Amino acid sequence: MSKEFDVVVIGAGPGGYIAAIRAAQLGKSVACIDAWVDADGKPTPGGTCTNVGCIPSKALLQSSEYYEHAKHGFKEHGIELGSVKLKIDQFLGRKNEVVQQNNDGILFLFRKNKVQFYSGKASFDGKADNGRYNILIDGKDKGSVSAEHVIIATGSEPRALPGLEFDEELILSNTGALAIPAVPKRLGVIGAGVIGLELGSVWRRLGAEVTVLEAMPKFLSVADEGVAKEAAKLYAKQGLKIEVGVKVGDIKTSAKKVTIKYDNAKGEEQTLEVDKLIVSIGRVPTTAGLNLESIGLTTNERGFIEVDEHCHTELENVWAVGDVVRGPMLAHKAEEEGVAVAERIAGQHGSVNYDLIPNVIYTSPEISWIGKTEQQLKEEGKKYKAGQFPFMANGRARALGDTNGFVKVLACAETDEVLGVHIIGPMASELIAEAVAIMEFKGAAEDIGRICHAHPTLSESLKEAALAVDKRSLNF
């Protein structure tokens, strides 16, 4: 006999585990089902983000940045280290430890909030019976459960090139790219998005010759043009080779190398030989095995589950959040949707402001932005003012020895409301939070400029950029 719950969440990634916890906090009986396990069969909740995405990539980015500093950056601080050696096993081992700490943390949170966790693959078992949905579990916790409400949060998986499947040895997805056992001499990356740039940066810092091939004619076309140009310049200076406007042709593998034929932006045929190839051309929603057809739920032509603005599917009491639905495939977007759905189920008015979901690229320099870009405002015919402040004029950045980049604030020419903030430079991922808060409350550039910021801090650069909107920056 199935155990009954108020809410069953399928998937324990950022959207799923957060939805389960919030629903439990609101007094609902909740179960969460997740299929991720490690090599020993131990449950590893957290989804792609925790296991092979956000968390391990940031661990490797941090470790590789320390390595690069030790080899090239510490001398200017008067620190002589002599020979610097990389222990790749320990390098990857630390990443695995960080992942496990996050896995264990989620299991602890489930226990703390009285969420019943089931390890296994979930699938619907026919249509709702008496207002409840039956769900089968195939795995360590084999059995079945039923619930009045079901939240689908099964995430996404890497998109492969047609005819070129991932073997995670030569042709790598994000999973394989996080676990290369030895630094390759030559590394190719197809796709200059977040994953490609971050993982390409990791292995470049460790000594690989990295070439990134991007089909789009402009580099980082989703970002502000000024930020994209600055990023391209700094990446090139670091030795990260990026080609845009390419058309990838035949890709062949041999025992120890990958050969990529492609046309460059001028239409000239090129050949690139690498030891490993990372393919990061996007992700597709994961719905296989859910048996959605048994309850009459379908996906659209792109594989996404259709939902309304409240993340409600066409079926009563069936919800979907995160990468499996429309919108940016970002962990923090999934979390916000998970909270909002849990609150809606409890009769509250959960909400998500999709216009204010920050974007971040965790390379060096970091890149973050929120709101409109300058090119978008121009296309819309919106009158705006722009203020910009370079980190080279910031005292804390100078002390850190990291003065690349700038902060740009875009504000309405008539009302001074902040319309967009774009940051490239040290700790951009942290600095963007203030901009999100200001914009959430319809704040003006003057509001940022009149807030007292501690000195010396990087955050003063945001204040100075806001002051620069009205041409009254104090330190530049």
Show binding-site residues for NAD(+).
Answer: 191-198, 214, 282
Binding-site residue numbers for FAD are 58, 154-156, 323, 329-332
Query: What tokens does 6 get?
Result: 């108020």
What's the CA gap between 58 and 408, in Å, rounded?
25
User: Residue 8: which H helix or E strand, with range?
Assistant: strand 3-10
Q: Which one of the listed residues 312, 349, 453, 455 is annotated catalytic?
A: 455
Cβ contact 446:466 at 8 Å: yes
What's the CA gap between 326 and 333, in Å, rounded?
11
Cβ contact 232:240 at 8 Å: no
Beta bridge partners of 251: 260
Q: Which residue has the tokens 């966790």?
A: 117
What's the CA gap between 406 and 473, in Å, rounded?
13
Binding-site residue numbers are 58, 154-156, 191-198, 214, 282, 323, 329-332
Query: What tokens does 458 get?
Result: 């990087």
What's the CA gap between 422 and 73, in Å, rounded?
27
Relative orientation angle of helices 225-238 and 194-205, to the nearest 10 degrees: 20
Query: What tokens does 226 get?
Result: 């000024």
Distance of CA 123 to the CA centre of its chain: 27
Does residue 455 carry a catalytic annotation? yes
Cβ contact 418:445 at 8 Å: yes
Relative orientation angle of helices 460-468 and 428-440, to the nearest 10 degrees: 50
- What are the φ and ψ backbone dihedral angles of 464, each rounded to 5 degrees? -65, -40
Name every residue whose Cβ is closer than 8 Å to that of residue 84 and which is 6 or more positions away in sequence: 67, 70, 71
Q: Looking at the annotation, which residues are catalytic?
A: 455
